[in-house]
Amino acid sequence: MSGASLDEVLKTAWARARAVWGRAFRQLKLFLATAEHTWRRSLQVRVVTLTLVVSSLLVAVFAYVVAYRSSTILLNRAKDSVSAQLDYGRSYTELQLKIFGKPFEPNVQGTLQDIVFYLGGGDSQDPSAGLVVVRADNVNELSAVPSRKGDITGLLTTDITGVVSHGQKATAIRSADLDRTGMVKYLVEGTPVKTNFGQIELYYIEPLTTQDSAATQIRTTVLATGATLVLLLGLLSALVTRLVVRPVRVAARTAQRLSAGLLDQRMAVTGEDDLALLAASFNQMAANLQRQIVRLEDMSRLQRRFTSDVSHELRTPLTTVRMAADLIFAERERFPADVTRTAEILQTELDRFESLLTDLLEISRYDAGFAMLDAEPTDLVPIVHRAVEPLRGLAERCGVPLEVDVPADPVIVEADPRRVERILRNLVGNAVEHAEGKPVVIRLVSDGVAAAVAVRDHGLGLKPGEEKLVFNRFWRADPSRARQTGGTGLGLSISLEDARLHGGWLEAWGAPGQGAQFRLTLPVRAGDRLSGSPLRLVPEDIELAAVTPPVQPRAITQTPAELPL
């Protein structure tokens, strides 16, 4: 095979391996995502899983404790039995060897064999039986005698024989293959035996096959019982959780239908338990909520109709009064001073009353859903100037400088110019009213997707939470303050509805002593959904002040609420 073909084969194999690993990784990722979604959405899965995990841990700990205690008890019993046999064997050996004074006397080796034969249970060669060994390493004339054949070098190691040779008992557990049938665990115990011709060693080697088998059976039984118990607990928790979760799911679905406007939805009530009481209470709450909503809708409908009818009906007498007031106002120079002042006050209040009627009619159109948007490509730059110029006289009287920052190029959006101009006029007038003699900055920015106009003042500002209340009808931050303009209290409410009609945003930010900023954001193309604004809601000078501390810091009595940028 050539080098080029080998490279191609390796590349193909590598590509296939990468494809297989990629599919496996995607499958694993999909499985984890599905498992996470199920874990987050299903209370029953979480309860059953936690029950299985906790019960498995408890069963595992219990099985370990039982197995450990069982093995310990069986081993202790084996040790006690071997220790008793060893003590008896030592006494028996000492008694049998008491008649000998020298190791080279006749029958000493034979007596040792007889002792081992007796203590080892006769001529039994059962592998499960114990093994008795007599060693006489300290006596050169004698050799070791085991009760049956087998390689005991792996059992009588130096750490055991060394202790016994120094006149002490020794106990150990060793594994060896005495009969060439596999490794077996043995309990080895040894003791020194005192004789007239010196010290010899007596060892009992007991196989622990029975004890290990019993411990294994106990461990298997406990694990099988525990696994069965865990499965039963999981099944029981699933059934119990289902009994509890199912009515909750039904209640959640019913609540979703209620929130979607299907006020006639109810839960089925079965039985007399706590869940039945929950269903009955939920149905009672839904019925009360339905009655309240219907009542409020009727009241709101009557209120809107009353406002609309009154506004329309007042137009005719207002026109008549306006004609008479205009005639008196035009001839006011011919009247005494007090009558002249009365004519001027009458003219001012009629203007305010007419403005109030106009705003009420506009609000009634929004409430009735009759407001229409006449969107057309519009340049916002001249609209900003048209909204600001009529208010310059009021700003000069209040001592408030107006600063307009607009791009040199046109900013074209699909909007209703009349409504946009009305929004900006309300925002600028409101800013002049609360500027406290400090500059008001109007800024226009566009990023091609959305256009935003920000009106910034440096007056009293807003308290935390008031940035939402400013758009409520007839709401005022400080009712005790004297107003410079004859506002109706509906300007910001109408502006908010105008912005929503465009699919835009009208938002407010403010902090005590740091002024306020209102931001109008409109989509460049009508019908597009806004995802952001080219202007930040929190003014840049506030952020710079937070980053760079002033030379002479001033205590702030109240921290402004955190607002989205």
Whole-number pLDDT of residue 404:
93
Place of tokens 């406990």: 222
**486: pLDDT strictly greater than 70:** no
**200: pLDDT strictly greater than 90:** no
Whole-number pLDDT of residue 561:
34
Taking Cα atoms as reference points, which of 204, 217, 198, 207 lies closest to residue 177? 207
Do 331 and 410 lie in one domain? The reply is no
Confidence grade of residue 369 (pLDDT, cut at 50, 70, 90): low
Q: Residue 348's domain spans which residues?
A: 266-371
Cα angle 87-89-93, degrees, rounded to a multiple of 5: 120
Strand order in the sheet with 131-135: 145-146, 131-135, 198-207, 184-195, 170-176
**8: pLDDT strictly greater than 50:** yes
d(CA 504, CA 452): 10
Whole-number pLDDT of residue 478:
56
Give the residue from 355, 371, 387 where a domain finishes.
371
Do 414 and 538 lie in one domain? The reply is yes
d(CA 408, CA 234): 72
Do 418 and 400 lie in one domain? The reply is yes
d(CA 151, CA 180): 9
Least confidently predicted of 96-105, 190-199, 365-374: 365-374
* Residue 121: how many other CB atoms lie within 10 Å: 15
Whole-number pLDDT of residue 117:
85
Helix (H) or strand (E) holding 172: strand 170-176
Do 414 and 526 lie in one domain? The reply is yes
Measured over the CA atoms of residue 68, residue 69, residue 75 and residue 76, the dihedral's sign is positive
**183: pLDDT strictly greater than 90:** no
Whole-number pLDDT of residue 126:
56
Mean pLDDT score of the chain: 80
Averaged over 455-471, what is the pLDDT?
87
**510: pLDDT strictly greater than 60:** yes
d(CA 505, CA 478): 25
Total domains in the fold of the chain:
4
In this structure, are strands 170-176 and 198-207 parallel, antiparallel, or unpaired?
unpaired
Q: Is the distance from CB of 535 to CB of 443 less than 8 angstroms?
A: yes
Helix (H) or strand (E) holding 386: helix 380-388
Strand partners, 134: 145, 202
Least confidently predicted of 63-72, 105-114, 540-549, 556-565: 556-565
Q: What are phi and psi of 178, to 5 degrees?
A: -70, -40
d(CA 296, CA 294): 5
**386: pLDDT strictly greater than 80:** yes
**348: pLDDT strictly greater than 80:** no
Give the residue from 354, 371, 388 where a domain finishes.
371
- Structural domain includes residue 56: no
CATH of residue 331: 1.10.287.130
Do 311 and 431 lie in one domain? The reply is no
Q: Is the distance from CB of 400 to CB of 439 less than 8 angstroms?
A: yes
Whole-number pLDDT of residue 311:
64
List, in order, residues 6 or more apart from 451 with CB less than 8 Å away.
Answer: 380, 411, 413, 444, 445, 521, 522, 524, 534
Do 526 and 494 lie in one domain? The reply is yes
Least confidently predicted of 251-255, 365-369, 455-459: 365-369
- pLDDT (tens digit, 9 = 90+) per residue, 124-147? 555 556 678 888 777 766 777 887
Averaged over 16-24, what is the pLDDT?
85
Maximum separation of any 2 CA atoms in the chain, in Å: 167
- pLDDT (tens digit, 9 = 90+) per residue, 402-442? 999 999 899 999 999 988 998 998 899 889 988 888 999 99
Do 408 and 542 lie in one domain? The reply is yes
Confidence grade of residue 541 (pLDDT, cut at 50, 70, 90): confident
Whole-number pLDDT of residue 412:
93
Do 385 and 523 lie in one domain? The reply is yes
Confidence grade of residue 508 (pLDDT, cut at 50, 70, 90): very high
Averaged over 514-527, what is the pLDDT?
91
- Structural domain includes residue 446: yes
Amino acid at site 67: A
CA trace torsion 124, 125, 129, 135 (10° rounding):
90
d(CA 521, CA 528): 12
Do 333 and 413 lie in one domain? The reply is no
List, in order, residues 6 or more apart from 331 with CB less than 8 Å away.
Answer: none
Whole-number pLDDT of residue 393:
86
CATH of residue 184: 3.30.450
Do 180 and 306 lie in one domain? The reply is no
- pLDDT (tens digit, 9 = 90+) per residue, 75-114? 888 889 888 988 998 898 888 888 888 877 788 888 888 8
485/54: higher pLDDT:
54
131/452: higher pLDDT:
452
